Amino acid sequence: MVEQIRARGGAAEALPADTAKEADVERIFAAAEKLGRIEAMVYNTGITGPNSTLAEAQPETLSRVIEVNLVGALFCARAAVRRMSTKTGGKGGSIVLISSRAAVHGSPGEYTWYAASKGGLDSLVIGLSREVAMEGIRVNAVSPGTIDTGIHAPGRLDRVKPLMPMQRAGTAEEVTAAVMFLVSKDASYVSGANIAVAGGR
C-alpha cells in the first residue's frame, strides 16, 4: 500500500505499533504530522481472539481484545481530537471508527467480547461526535457485516453465508467506499452516523 501511494505522488509511511499503548499511539501521530496536517483518522484495528463461548474464554483474550479494539480507539481518537480541534489551533477533521455489526448481533458462541468491544465504539461515536461538534470535527462509524478477510476462523464464511440476505460476504473495497465517503466533503453534515456495510443484515 505504501508503495502504491508513493507511486501516485503521495507520502506514506508504515509503522509497527501497539495501539493499546499510549506511547505507540503518540509516536504514530508524531510521524503522521511530519507528512502534513492530519485531516482524517480511521481506526481500523480489530482482533477477536479464538472463537469460544464466554465461559470458555481465557482472561488474556478478553483483556487483549478490549485493549486493542476499544482502549486503542480511545487513545487514537483522543490524539486526533487534540490535533484537529479548532479549540487548540487545529483546522478540524474527520474521525471514522471501524465498528462491526457484531455489536448488534452479539456473536453468541463465537466472540461476545469482540461484539462488546465494538458496542463500545458505537457509544464512543455518539458521545464524541456531540462533544466535538463545535470544534470542526466530525465523528462517524462504519459497521461491516461479514467481510471476506482473514479475521474469520477457517470455514466460518461458508457457515454464515445462509444468514446473509445477499447470500455473499462483502469485500474490503465495499467497506473502504463507505469510509471514503465519510472523510470526504460530501459528508460535511454527517456526524454521529454509523453506516452498516452488511448486505442487509
Told to judge if 114 belongs to the known catalytic residues of this protein, a careful annotator would answer yes
What is the crossing angle of helices 72-84 and 22-33, to 10°? 40
Q: How far is 201 from 163, CA to CA, in rounded Å?
A: 8
Q: Which of 43, 111, 114, 189 is catalytic?
A: 114
Contact between 115 and 171 (Cβ < 8 Å): no
Q: How far is 45 from 58, CA to CA, in rounded Å?
A: 21
Q: How far is 169 from 145, CA to CA, in rounded Å?
A: 8
Q: What is the CA radius of gyration of the chain?
A: 17
Catalytically active residues, by annotation: 114
